A = this chain, B = another copy of it.
Amino acid sequence: MNPFANIVKPTLLLDEAAAMMNIHRMVGKARQQQIRFRPHFKTHQSAEIGEWFRQVGVTAITTSSIDMAQYFADHGWDDITIAFPANLRQSAQLADLVGRVRLGLLIENREAAQHLEGTLPTAVDAWIKIDAGAGRTGLSWSDAAAISDMATEVQSMKKLRLRGLLTHAGHTYSAASPEEVCRRYHESIDHMQAARAVLQRAGYPPVELSVGDTPGCTLCDDLGAVDEIRPGNFIFNDSQQVALGVCSAADIAVALACPVVAKHADRSEIIVYGGAIHLSKDYLMLGETRAYGLVALAEGNRWGPPLEGGYVRGLSQEHGMIRLAQPDFDRVQIGDLVLVLPAHSCLTVTLMRTYRTLDGREITTFNV
């Protein structure tokens, strides 16, 4: 069966074999280094795809929201870390979850610790959120007093079990080279170890370290002395990962099939049905040029390699403006499909909410 035959509008194609390969690679790497693998499910967001992880022995997962944790709890996952600072306003939902799963929460302030102490029916694992260099959120790895105070606060709570220190080294995404990705990854682990040493010196029982972004976990041979990794994007990868040197385009497991609706020979550009409401407005840099995705064509039952010189030049709500090299421009016809390899697969999945596999099966996400 030709997977492209009956596609009439923007459709998120999923190459299961490529995704499975990506899963196997990361599972194998973690296992070999005896590090717990707690994949972030915010990328695929799907119970069915979650089962692929279960089949290879994964039992612990990460989600980015309480709603997503509830969805996966409903689908039999019972060890879930919500990798987002605890949200006081959702304590009723948290109270429900804590009775059903082993729950890990991120704590980085006294307000959250005290609120949880007052509202949770039983104890959760508390991970102190550390900023190991990314500059998003968490206690600075170098602020020994804040980390120590936070640990004391957590230890004083009956509903919080101090489990460890957790970070997301998101600044690997802005690295200039694969080497810099690894430098930043390892530096973040050094910072985490320094933070843990603060607690050790202060006499706290040993705590775990949880880290893990896709660039670092993919590119660095040695994952370092950590207890668990939590990458998410690696299952699908995307054009940003390719631009960063994290993977090759063949490792991208999702592509948005877009009907061609217009051609502009004067600027060697095609217009596709497929815009910001399908792909998101995230982008990558190709040298000095902003690209909202790379572009491929159908080849047999999959999509082919990215077209040399092809990229998504701009997006409006439903339109994609795609620059193509002359020979590709000439062979693409109105009514054809082109495949956009998303800049950022997590956001594209959030928008599309449903996958179609290459054999035409539908897979839904928790957002449907």
A residues contacting B by CB (< 8 A) are 7-9, 42, 64-67, 84-90, 92-93, 108-109, 111-112, 115, 129, 136-138, 140, 170, 259, 261-264, 266, 271, 273, 276-277, 280-282, 314, 316-319, 321, 333-335, 346-347, 350-351
Which chain B residues border A347 with CB–CB below 8 Å?
A: 276-277, 281, 317
A259 contacts B89, CB within 8 Å? yes
CB distance from A147 to the nearest CB of B (A): 15
Which chain B residues border A137 with CB–CB below 8 Å?
A: 261-262, 264, 271, 319, 321
Given A67-B9, A90-B8, A335-B89, A109 contacting B262 (CB threshold 8 A): yes
Given A112-B334, A263-B109, A93 contacting B280 (CB threshold 8 A): no
Complex Cα–Cα for A112 and B281 (A): 28
CB-based nearest B residue for A271: B137
Q: Within the complex, which residue of B64, B111, B129, B273 is in contact with A335, where a contact is CB–CB below 8 Å?
A: B111
B271 contacts A136, CB within 8 Å? yes
Q: Within the complex, which residue of B8, B65, B277, B318 is in contact with A93, where a contact is CB–CB below 8 Å?
A: B8
A87 contacts B276, CB within 8 Å? no
CB distance from A8 to the nearest CB of B (A): 4
CB-based nearest B residue for A278: B350
Complex Cα–Cα for A228 and B137 (A): 49
Q: Within the complex, which residue of B8, B109, B280 is in contact with A276, where a contact is CB–CB below 8 Å?
A: B280
B273 contacts A87, CB within 8 Å? yes
B9 contacts A90, CB within 8 Å? yes
Complex Cα–Cα for A166 and B259 (A): 22
A9 contacts B317, CB within 8 Å? no
Instruction: Please tell me how many copies of the chain the complex holds.
Output: 2
A276 contacts B282, CB within 8 Å? yes
B136 contacts A86, CB within 8 Å? no
CB-based nearest B residue for A173: B316
CB distance from A164 to the nearest CB of B (A): 18
Given A67-B9, A333-B111, A347-B281, A259 contacting B170 (CB threshold 8 A): no
A8 contacts B89, CB within 8 Å? yes
Complex Cα–Cα for A87 and B336 (A): 10
Complex Cα–Cα for A115 and B336 (A): 13
B280 contacts A111, CB within 8 Å? no
CB distance from A278 to the nearest CB of B (A): 10
Given A8-B89, A87-B259, A281-B280, A65 contacting B109 (CB threshold 8 A): no
Complex Cα–Cα for A7 and B87 (A): 12
A8 contacts B87, CB within 8 Å? yes
B84 contacts A318, CB within 8 Å? yes
Q: Within the complex, which residue of B87, B108, B271, B350 is in contact with A277, where a contact is CB–CB below 8 Å?
A: B350
CB-based nearest B residue for A8: B89
Complex Cα–Cα for A346 and B319 (A): 14
CB distance from A191 to the nearest CB of B (A): 16
Which chain B residues border A262 with CB–CB below 8 Å?
A: 85, 108-109, 129, 137-138
Which chain B residues border A84 with CB–CB below 8 Å?
A: 261, 273, 318-319
Which chain B residues border A351 with CB–CB below 8 Å?
A: 350-351
Complex Cα–Cα for A112 and B42 (A): 39
A136 contacts B321, CB within 8 Å? yes
